[in-house]
């Protein structure tokens, strides 16, 4: 509701529950109506109970209530990825990236999906965007290393990214070993 009195413009927003973002900055797009939040929580409960289809329906309702709800767009991507539907996963994560181009999480999720779809050039761009916003995000480092290795671009950077991500993603060690062997560093490849 907008009021104007004596040259002052007042904007009154409905009460919304907002969790404090990590950065301390609240964007208008982060103001999520309680009904949409409830649908996302219902989706989480359904997912926890193994009801993936029901979970996705709740997320779709949350999106209808609040089309710019980043988490409601990101979460179906996770559900679709779990079922192996990478095309739908890419669409969901792509929408999340469009909603918040500075979300390292959304870029990292999209990157891994693009790698699964063998769309390596797009995956590299998305991984680098994720790392631009969060240089230490292991998922993005792993995805960038996988992208480089899949493109037979086994550089020192690829090996470092994969090796750095190996603690959280143990299979990255195998790809790191491949990248190191490709560079001729057989000793370190054997260690991996």
CATH code, domain carrying 38:
1.25.40.10
The residue from 100, 128, 156 where one domain ends is: 100
Q: Return the residue matching tokens 């090796």.
A: 163
Domain CATH for 126:
1.25.40
- Give pLDDT, residue 189: 66
Kindly report the pTM of this predicted structure.
0.68
Residue 85 has pLDDT above 80, yes or no: yes
Residue 19 has pLDDT above 80, yes or no: no
Tell whether 82 is covered by a domain: yes
Tell whether 19 is covered by a domain: no
How many independent structural domains does the chain possess? 2
Whole-angstrom Cα distance, residue 94 to residue 37? 21
Tell whether 45 is covered by a domain: yes
pLDDT band at 3 (very low <50, low <70, confident <90, very high): very low
Tell whether 175 is covered by a domain: yes
* Residue of higher predicted confidence among 80 and 178: 80
- Is the C-alpha dihedral spanning 160, 178, 153, 88 positive or negative? negative
Tell whether 192 is covered by a domain: yes
Same domain, 77 and 41: yes
Whole-angstrom Cα distance, residue 18 to residue 125? 31
What's the number of CA atoms in the CB half-sphere (13 Å) around residue 13? 8
- Give pLDDT, residue 4: 54
Residue 115 has pLDDT above 50, yes or no: yes
Closest CA to 73 of 48, 105, 51: 105
Average pLDDT, the chain: 79
Tell whether 29 is covered by a domain: no
Whole-angstrom Cα distance, residue 21 to residue 162? 29
Domain hosting 165: range is: 120-192
Cβ(123)–Cβ(131) under 8 Å? no
Whole-angstrom Cα distance, residue 83 to residue 93? 15
Tell whether 14 is covered by a domain: no
How large is the average pLDDT for residues 145-157?
74
- Give pLDDT, residue 150: 72
Residue 90 has pLDDT above 80, yes or no: yes
Same domain, 47 and 93: yes
Residue 2 has pLDDT above 50, yes or no: no
């Amino acid at each position: 509701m907008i009021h104007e009195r004596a040259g002052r413009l007042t904007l009154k927003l409905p009460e919304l529950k907002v969790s404090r973002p990590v950065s301390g900055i609240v964007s208008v797009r982060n103001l999520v109506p309680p009904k949409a939040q409830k649908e996302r929580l219902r989706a989480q409960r359904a997912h926890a109970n193994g009801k993936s289809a029901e979970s996705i329906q709740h997320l779709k309702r949350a999106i209808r209530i609040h089309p710019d709800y980043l988490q409601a767009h990101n979460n179906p991507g996770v559900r679709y990825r779990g079922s192996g539907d990478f095309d739908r996963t890419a669409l969901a994560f792509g929408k999340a990236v469009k909603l918040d181009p500075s979300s390292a999480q959304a870029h990292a999720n999209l990157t891994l999906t693009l790698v699964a779809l063998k769309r390596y050039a797009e995956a590299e761009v998305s991984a680098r965007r994720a790392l631009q916003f969060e240089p230490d995000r292991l998922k993005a480092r792993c995805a960038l290393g996988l992208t480089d290795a899949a493109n037979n671009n086994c550089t020192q950077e690829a090996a470092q990214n994969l090796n750095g991500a190996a603690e959280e993603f143990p299979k990255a060690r195998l790809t790191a070993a491949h990248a190191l062997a490709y560079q001729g560093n057989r000793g370190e490849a054997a260690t991996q």
